[in-house]
Amino acid sequence: MLNRAQLKINPEEFEGLDDDYIFRLLAIKMVKEIPMKELHKLMKFSKLDPCNFDVHTKLSDKDYCDFKRVEIEMLIEEKVILFEVEVTLPDYE
């Protein structure tokens, strides 16, 4: 699936902006326009809700990863839900 984003800017508006800034604007615009089904293919989304029953079950499992246990305990203490997205990028040389 090919996705394309365009941005037309008057030269006066472009003054003081660099290409990296424009690149990020285009990337954000493109991600907003990609259908959710395709976006899920591109990015791995996860949600860790410390109020979730399954999460509390994991905390009571003595074989559960210590790192994840500490992470959940910190989320409980902070009273927040952790949302993450991962993208695997190809290595370019």
pLDDT digits (tens, 9 = 90+) for 57-90: 888 888 888 888 889 999 999 999 999 999 988 8
Please tell me whether residues 64 and 21 are part of one structural domain. no
Mean pLDDT, residues 52-61 taken together: 83
57 and 84, same domain (yes or no): yes
Interval 5-30: pLDDT, tens: 888 888 887 788 888 998 999 999 99
Whole-prediction pTM: 0.68
String of DSSP letters for 56-90: HHHHH-TTS-HHHHHHHHHHHHHT--EEEEE-PPP
Give me the number of domains the chain comprises. Answer: 2
The verdict on 92 and 59 lying in the same domain is: yes
Regarding whether 89 and 55 lie in a shared domain, the answer is yes
Q: Is residue 71 within 8 Å of 48, Cβ to Cβ? A: yes
Comparing 7 with 36, which gets the higher pLDDT? 36
Predicted confidence at residue 66, as pLDDT, reads 86
